[in-house]
Amino acid sequence: MARQTISHARSALRSKTEEDHCSTRQQLLEAAGHMFAKKGFERSTAKEICERAGTNTAAVNYHFGGIEALYAAVLDEARNRILSVRAIELAVEGKTDPRAKLEAALGVIVQTLLGPVSSSWVLQVFGRDMVTPSPTTYPAKEKLILPLARILRGFVGELMGLAEDDPAVARGCLSVMAPICILIVGDRRMMKRALPSFGLGAEDAPALAHHMVDYALAGLEATARDAREKN
């Protein structure tokens, strides 16, 4: 009985330790996200991040191995919240029509970009890294961008009736991605002033996604027609 009690106590202690570890790690991620969004990677320090997170000054090294690894983890977190490959895959699951696939994928992305994430550190950090990319995070980007690119090439190739490796498909992909990039890096305050009737709230997401699909389809159809005529 005593051995069983000791075993349960040790198990509970391990669970509590693991829970504390995860909690501290998450606190550091959030604190670092705010600091990197505000000051950028170059001007942020591990000390400031630990102070904001309410942890001891060695926490960054203990949990991440240094501020560069923490920055990479923050970017991973931001990308996963904004562009979840799994969320897109689930949205298009079971759909056979390429238009429906594209609309479902864009719907997920636009809903996210116009939702609560738009006013958080997540979008600021992600956008900042798009404009001034860090070479230390390139491997992490590959894990997200390449799968998304494969999904997009499939949609666009189907819509255009062309092979995925056709140059016209690559150009079509760029055209589809451009509005998404604007929503990520664009100055929304200025966008609202310049285009007062352009809604940027979560309630505007369905209409904007639908517009982006209509606009993309018209351009893709014209591009595919030109590509076939040239061939």
Asked if 88 and 94 touch (Cβ cutoff 8 Å), the reply is: no
In sequence order, the 6+-apart residues with CB closer than 8 A to the CB of 224 are 159, 160, 161, 162, 168, 172
* 7 compared with 39, residue with greater pLDDT: 39
Domain assignment present for residue 57? The answer is: yes
- Nearest-Å Rg of the Cα atoms of the chain is 22
Residue 230 neighbours by CB distance under 10 Å: 7
- How far is it, in rounded angstroms, from Cα 178 to Cα 93? 24
CATH number, domain with residue 40: 1.10.10.60
In the structure, what pLDDT confidence band is assigned to residue 12 with cuts at 50, 70 and 90?
A: very low
pLDDT in tens, 81-126: 888 888 888 998 888 888 898 899 999 999 999 998 888 899 999 8
Model-wide pTM > 0.85: no
Residue 133 per-residue DSSP state: -
Domain limits for position 167 = 80-230
Which of residues 65, 95, 114 is at a domain's end?
65
